[in-house]
Structure 1
Amino acid sequence: MSRPRIIYVYDALCGWCYGFSPVIRQLYASYGDQADFDVLSGGMMTGTRVRPVSESMGYIQQAYKTVEDHTGVRFGDAYLNGLLAKGTYLSDSEKPGMAMTLFKAISPDQAVLFASTLQHALYYDGVDLNVDAHYGPLVEPFGIDPDEFVAHVSDAAIKEQTWAEFNLVSQYGINGFPSVIVDTGDKLYQVARGYLPYDALEANVKRALNSPE
Structure 2
Amino acid sequence: MASPRIIYIYDALCGWCYGFSPVIRRLYTTYSGAFDFDVLSGGMMTGSRVRPIAEMRAYIEQASKVVEEHTGVSFGEAYHTQILEPGHYTSDSEKPGMAMTLFKAVLPERALEFATTIQNALYRDGVDLNQDTNYGSLVEPFDIDPDEFIAHLSDNAIKEQTWAEFNLVAQYGINGFPSVIVDNGDKLFLVARGYSSYDQLEANVLRAKQSL
> Over residues 14-36 of structure 1, what are the superposed CA-to-partner deviations in whole Å (9 max), with x where a residue is unaligned?
00000000001101111111111
Q: Identity of counterpart residues, as a percentage?
A: 72
2: CA distance between counterparts of 1:95 and 1:3?
31
Q: Does 1:32 align with 2:44?
A: no
> Residue in 1 aligned with 2:63?
63
2: CA distance between counterparts of 1:128 and 1:33?
35
> Over residues 146-200 of structure 1, what are the superposed CA-to-partner deviations in whole Å (9 max), with x where a residue is unaligned?
1100110100000000000000000100000000000012211000000001011
2: CA distance between counterparts of 1:110 and 1:36?
12
Q: Does 1:183 align with 2:174?
A: no
2: CA distance between counterparts of 1:207 and 1:198?
14
SS in 1 for 2:85: helix
SS in 2 for 1:126: coil
Q: Does 1:22 align with 2:22?
A: yes
In structure 1, runs of 5+ residues without a counterpart are none
SS in 1 for 2:73: coil
> Residue in 2 aligned with 1:6?
6
> Residue in 1 aligned with 2:96?
96
Q: How far off its partner does 1:12 sit?
A: 0.1
Q: How far off its partner does 1:10 sit?
A: 0.4
> Residue in 1 aligned with 2:78?
78
Count of residues in correspondence between the two structures: 212
> Residue in 2 aligned with 1:154?
154
SS in 1 for 2:7: strand
Ranges of 4+ aligned residues in structure 1 off by more than 2 Å: none
1: CA distance between counterparts of 2:69 and 2:105?
35
Considering only aligned residues, what root-mean-square deviation do their CA atoms show, in Å?
0.7
In structure 2, runs of 5+ residues without a counterpart are none
> Over residues 72-112 of structure 1, what are the superposed CA-to-partner deviations in whole Å (9 max), with x where a residue is unaligned?
00000000122110000000000000000000000111111
TM-score (ref. length: structure 2): 0.99
> Residue in 1 aligned with 2:137?
137
